[in-house]
């Protein structure tokens, strides 16, 4: 269900490279949640880094919503760059499995496949 890769890059460099890969694949970055900074700002002891990139291809999102409007709750796609025990990782929840769990509509299969291929390519390029 997850696609996660480890990189030798720093957290900062992997984050920068992921954002560039997202744009190369005609997706947009809607927002970046800096979870590590947010938690520390709330007084929580959190030693790791974690940025969650909300990414979207408007054409694909419109197809998903036209098929099943309830799936707005699963959008946009999220790709995370994070650290864990001194390692930098980049990962996502695979769209095919996620959408299959949420809807039985066969039309979503092809959309999810296209999005999954692109998001995995983004992660691999940022690695």
DSSP assignment of 12-27: HHHHHHHHHHHHHTT-
**pTM of the shown model:** 0.94
Residue 51 tokens read as 């940025």
Residue 99 has pLDDT above 90, yes or no: no
Q: What is the mean pLDDT of the chain?
A: 96
Count CA atoms within 13 Å of residue 89 on its CB side: 15
Domain 2-126, second-level architecture? 2-Layer Sandwich (3.30)
| Residue 106: per-residue pLDDT | 86
pLDDT in tens, 43-98: 999 999 999 999 999 999 999 999 999 999 999 999 999 999 999 999 999 999 99
Contact 79, 41 (CB under 8 A): no
| Residue 107: per-residue pLDDT | 85
In this prediction, residues 8-21 reach a mean pLDDT of 98
């Amino acid at each position: 269900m997850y696609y996660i890769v480890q990189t030798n890059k720093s957290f900062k460099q992997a984050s920068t490279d992921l954002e560039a890969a997202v744009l190369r694949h005609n997706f947009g970055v809607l927002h970046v949640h800096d979870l590590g900074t947010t938690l520390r700002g709330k007084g929580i002891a959190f030693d790791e880094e974690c940025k969650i990139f909300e990414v979207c291809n408007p054409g694909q999102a419109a197809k998903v919503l036209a098929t099943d409007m309830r799936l707005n709750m699963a959008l946009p796609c999220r790709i995370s760059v994070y650290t864990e025990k001194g390692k930098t990782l980049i990962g996502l929840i695979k769209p095919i499995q996620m959408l299959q769990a949420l809807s039985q509509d066969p039309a979503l299969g092809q959309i999810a496949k296209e999005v999954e291929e692109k998001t995995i390519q983004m992660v691999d390029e940022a690695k």
